[in-house]
Structure 1
Amino acid sequence: MPDLLRQPTIASIQRSDIEADPRITTITAALRAVAEYPVNPENSHGVIVLDGRGGAKRLSYPELWSAARTVAAGLRQRGLKAGARVLLLLPTSEEYVVTLCGALLLGTMPCTVAAPTTRSKADEALRYLGYIYDKLDPALILVPEHLQATLQEHPGIDAHRVVTADDVRGEAPLATGALPMIRAEQPLHIQLTSGTTNKPKGVVLTHHNVIQNVQAIARAVDFVPSTDSGLSWLPLYHDMGFIQLLMAIYYQSSMVLMTPTSFLRDPLSWLHNIGRYRVSITAAPTFAYSLCLRKFDPGKLTGLDLGAWRRSFVGAEPVPLGILQQFTDTYRPYGLHDDTIYPSYGMAETVLITSGPTDLSHNPRHVFGFVACDRIDPELLRTQGRAVPSPNDDMSSPRSIEILGMGPPVKGLEIVVQDEQGQVVEDRVVGEICVRGTSLMQGYFQDAEATTLAVRDGYYHTGDRGYLVDGELYVLGRIKELIIVRGRNYQPFDIEAVIEEHEAVRKGYAVVFGVYNAEQGTDDMVAVIETKVAPEERPPMAQQIQQSLQTIFGFRAHEIIFVRHGTIPRTTSGKPQRVLSKEWYEQGKFKA
């Protein structure tokens, strides 16, 4: 095994060499090892930050090691010690990466938070930040210069704690010998849950948790540090974006960071950068693939080469088969492989990934690549809580629904499905998905009640409904979002999919929820739809949707509310927040 701390050049290092080295049990130890003795003697590996305007800044790992120690020196000068919380409101940038690593080297607990981006949502963002501030009691809040005065004037925040990245840069790098010894069981960071309300929980994750999950991701995709590279446009307050960065640092692989706004402004720029930088590993929520389909324009894709793109994680609920098939078919002429798309299931409480597909060649539900689909009878699902394979071959019939396979649990994790009494159920019986293992969180920050409720008998109760088939997981949705109409259970996404079949409704632009009707003893289903349709055209549109619902499900919506785009609350990954939407509805916040 190569000696990572002593060998001057290790250009042929393997993933197993890093994973097996007993000294690299923390991200900070990995940063030191890979920075002082880089895999590539020319230091070609590092982090590249694209500014969205055509500019790129490259930070090699030796440069990151030095710059991070300068930040560690500045933080120590301000009195910060291991365990102190640090909020990072910095955008995707070189200074974010450096500041994050500096905070990690000192043993503090960084927590990345979304900063206010528009005036229209500034008040909402500040209320959110105020809640996080009260919850975590951070020693410092690192902000861009243009936000410093605004946050210093916030009545609930100590102005002296609000500083910029420049304010915490020391005069010289902290000497290696002066850095604290970080242990694997120490907290690495606090990850905020996307949540179903505007009050997220703080997931405490240790270095051991993170490294175990990062290694599981690497095994799932046969990651090779010397040749594989990553790219992410996701916000770094999102676990999918944050862990991709930590994975690159741990394995000393190349990582390209795009700003979220650059992707949203031009989704095809994601694909162009994948081709330009010969990126092999990426991850994105479902809506990113859908957006690239809507924006598809051969005239803007001249010269695009996706041949290096080996794996692309996709996760959200649900992951629709049609979008994955169409995306693969559409971009195959540009070099996209049939096995690039990689559906997976995960959550902040297990760091990132919980399950992912393996070899599907002998799986009877295999569709293409790493995609497997179980076609089940919706009536038996609603009435018996069982996922019975549908005998109907006509996929256009409401007698069959498609549920994508999320694969078996990754190494180090175990998945079981339990009923309401906490008993493990057999294959194809629907229940709550429960997880335990090496990357399971330590708990929610200073919230013993929520932790005890979520983690019982060693298992984290996810709140997701699903079932297992031959060890592979199939996810149905959130338990608390279930709509019960006349004794039958309906998944919101099934109803939303029917609504989105209307030509004037885009996918992902409808949200449904149930409001209990005590007089009738059942849920009233309410639909909120974002649309640009003129007001005079909405009544006939509503009637068409109601007719479709009646035909497919045997009931109509109690109410359909049309709202402008951007009204429905969403998580950091773009998923509609159904529980919060229900709260807004009950508070009368939705206005046509």
Structure 2
Amino acid sequence: MSAFLDALRTAGQGDAGMTTGEPHAAVRTGWDEVHRAALGGAAVLAAGGLAPGDAVAILAGAPADVAPAAQAVWLAGGSVTMLHQPTARTRLDRYAAETLRTLQVIGARRVVVGAPFDEFADALRENGVDAVTVDELRAGDPDAAPDVTRGDDDPALLQLTSGSTAAPKAVRITHGNLWANLESMCAAADLRGGRDVMVSWLPLFHDMGMVGFLTLPMCRGIDLVTVTPADFLGRPLLWLELISRYGGTCTAAPNFAYALAARVLPRAEELDLSTLRFALNGAEPIDVRAVRGFLAAGERFGLAPTAVVCAYGMAEATLGVSFHPWGTPLEIDVLDAHALEHEARARPAEPGPDTRSFPVLGPPLDGIEVRVVADDGAVRGDREVGVLQLRGPAITSLYLTVDGPVPTRGDDGWLDTGDLGYLADGRVVVCGRVKDVIIMGGRNIYPTDVERVAEEVDGVRAGNAVAVRWVEDGRRESFAVAVESRQADDESAAAGIASAVRSAVTAAMGVRPGLVKVLPVGTLPKTPSGKLQRAAAGKLLQA
């Protein structure tokens, strides 16, 4: 029996619910109402031929639509895939082709469509896809819902990985994976119904949004206040205002959002952030300066100095891998740069010009094992850098790809994350991605170190600098730095920014970039969830 499905049914009997519609017209919907609507939707899906185990994709933007639609699929016995959403700059012909390719990979013949994407329903039907609207699901009879039993090994979520629109790949998350991770995250964050209020603007096609800030509160009976990414990006201060207005205790965001919040908080008035105890920072490399800036800017509004929780996670682990213990101060590991880059050792050092700093991401969540492995497969010891590997009930066993299913784990049950890092007294520290590390003269240079230096140069847009491997004219490997700037079209200004970036990186890192390029705003390639794509940026520079 699926403990996850049992939890959805139980949460539907409580008093908690979700608040949507901010900042225009707030509407509170109890999880009991969501559950009843989901039962009706499950009846519609079953009557339309959905069988247990079938994959269903969802293309909808409003959390108030996604919650009952996703739950309807689960109650009918299906698995859910949240499709990446087109933006104003998306070429719709290309998006349609990529969506059809994604549906083939996950084996979905049905798509639930909701606002603002209703126009896609007819296009899907013309391509042989059964499209059902959110309104059609809401019209279903809850008393006609099927009585479906699912087990821990049955698929619950087929989570598309970041950047997968061109070459789709999905992580197969089972009911057992999902429930194990939800349980361990709730324990680590001490999340409780009746006490906590979760506040989110995260996209629901991303695992942090879908698993952490919709599925978790929906099946654990925790109050949720949720808006869309467009609401946040249109007015970033809204995020903090909602925490203040509703007494938010728990939130989460990628690092860039905390940097943005630090910039807008000085303009705020009469906020109360004293209730916020758990502000998870994850999904992209964590810049300690951004965290400290956010904490400093929020201090006058009662924000606790321990509020930010640096974390490590990935879709292959369902969501969370490790959390820094909440309620404790931010912990930074300062390392000797030479030992890190030449010896693959995380040797502590006093802060100085020849050091590198990384946030400590806490111990693994309950049930998750983490080990560090060298290139030859040998398990490394404490403070020895290598590839992080994971094992446990929350770790997926299967990818779905254009070439068919592919195992995610080795014969010994360990998942290779592709991340370089180390363990410090059992706590996880991540240094970077294996494929992104730049090797010069036997030295490992982490792109994030270069990018943070480049972002400090006047004229460079925060969060829009990328460092990639670079080989030119058959010479030894070097690296290139690309930055976005609003002055990119001014030849003289762009040249000055490029020169400043080159000088700053050379001074800070002791190595000179082979190329520095200043690009217009919006040029650097990013995933649908907003992460910079280094491989694509490298191809752009080569072109």
Q: Which category describes the TM-score, using the shorter chain as reference length?
A: over 0.9
Contact 1:309 1:336 in 2 (8 A): yes
How many Å separate the matches in 1 of 2:140 and 2:281? 43
Contact 2:360 2:429 in 1 (8 A): yes
How many Å separate the matches in 1 of 2:176 and 2:471? 44
How many Å separate the matches in 2 of 1:316 and 1:72? 32
Q: Does 1:377 align with 2:333?
A: no
How many Å separate the matches in 1 of 2:342 and 2:193? 49
2:289 counterpart letter in structure 1: G
Q: Equivalent residue for 2:484? A: 530
Among 398, 420, 430, the residue aligned to 1:475? 430
1:89 is displaced (CA, Å) by 0.9
1:454 is displaced (CA, Å) by 4.8
Contact 2:397 2:408 in 1 (8 A): no
1:535 is displaced (CA, Å) by 2.6
2:187 counterpart letter in structure 1: R
Q: Equivalent residue for 1:334? A: 301
**CA 1:196/1:75 → structure 2, altered by over 3 Å: closer, same or farther?**
closer
Q: Equivalent residue for 1:192? A: 160
Q: Equivalent residue for 1:493? A: 448
**CA 1:389/1:211 → structure 2, altered by over 3 Å: closer, same or farther?**
same
1:128-207 correspondence to structure 2 within 5 Å: 128-144=98-114, 147-150=117-120, 152-153=122-123, 158-175=127-144, 178-195=146-163, 198-207=166-175
Q: Equivalent residue for 1:12? A: none
Cα shift readout 1:33-86 (whole Å, capped 9, x = no counterpart): 222x32xxxx3x11111254x112221122112111111111112111111111
How many Å separate the matches in 2 of 1:171 and 1:549? 60
How many Å separate the matches in 1 of 2:8 and 2:116? 31
1:96 counterpart letter in structure 2: V
Kindly report the root-mean-square deviation, in angstroms, between the aligned alpha carbons of the 2 structures: 2.3
SS of 2:60's equivalent in the other structure is coil
1:271 counterpart letter in structure 2: L
1:553 counterpart letter in structure 2: M
**CA 1:73/1:46 → structure 2, altered by over 3 Å: closer, same or farther?**
same
How many Å separate the matches in 1 of 2:458 and 2:29? 46
**CA 1:158/1:30 → structure 2, altered by over 3 Å: closer, same or farther?**
same
How many Å separate the matches in 2 of 1:56 and 1:505? 38
TM-score by length of 1: 0.86
Q: Specify every segment of 5 or more residues in structure 2 that has no aligned partner in the other structure, as ranges.
A: none
Q: Does 1:92 align with 2:48?
A: no
**CA 1:140/1:59 → structure 2, altered by over 3 Å: closer, same or farther?**
same
How many Å separate the matches in 2 of 1:59 and 1:340? 28
1:389 is displaced (CA, Å) by 1.5
1:310 is displaced (CA, Å) by 1.3
Contact 2:460 2:497 in 1 (8 A): no
How many Å separate the matches in 1 of 2:120 and 2:381? 55
1:506 is displaced (CA, Å) by 2.8
1:311 counterpart letter in structure 2: F
Q: Equivalent residue for 2:262? A: 293
How many Å separate the matches in 2 of 1:147 and 1:34? 29
2:433 counterpart letter in structure 1: R
Q: Equivalent residue for 1:273? A: 242
Q: Does 1:231 align with 2:199?
A: yes
Q: Specify every segment of 5 or more residues in structure 1 that has no aligned partner in the other structure, as ranges.
A: 1-22, 361-368
Q: Equivalent residue for 1:323? A: 290
Contact 2:373 2:386 in 1 (8 A): yes
Q: Equivalent residue for 2:18? A: 47
Contact 1:196 1:578 in 2 (8 A): no
1:414-429 correspondence to structure 2 within 5 Å: 414-429=369-384
1:293 is displaced (CA, Å) by 1.3
Q: Does 1:34 align with 2:3?
A: no
**CA 1:83/1:531 → structure 2, altered by over 3 Å: closer, same or farther?**
same
1:510-529 correspondence to structure 2 within 5 Å: 510-517=465-472, 519-520=474-475, 522-529=476-483
How many Å separate the matches in 2 of 1:497 and 1:160? 45
Among 26, 30, 47, the residue aligned to 1:60? 30
SS of 1:344's equivalent in the other structure is strand
Contact 2:207 2:318 in 1 (8 A): yes
Count of residue pairs the alignment pairs up: 540
**CA 1:495/1:443 → structure 2, altered by over 3 Å: closer, same or farther?**
same
Contact 2:470 2:514 in 1 (8 A): no
SS of 1:226's equivalent in the other structure is coil
1:531 counterpart letter in structure 2: S
How many Å separate the matches in 2 of 1:65 and 1:120? 34
Cα shift readout 1:528-567 (whole Å, capped 9, x = no counterpart): 2110112321112212222222223333222222222122
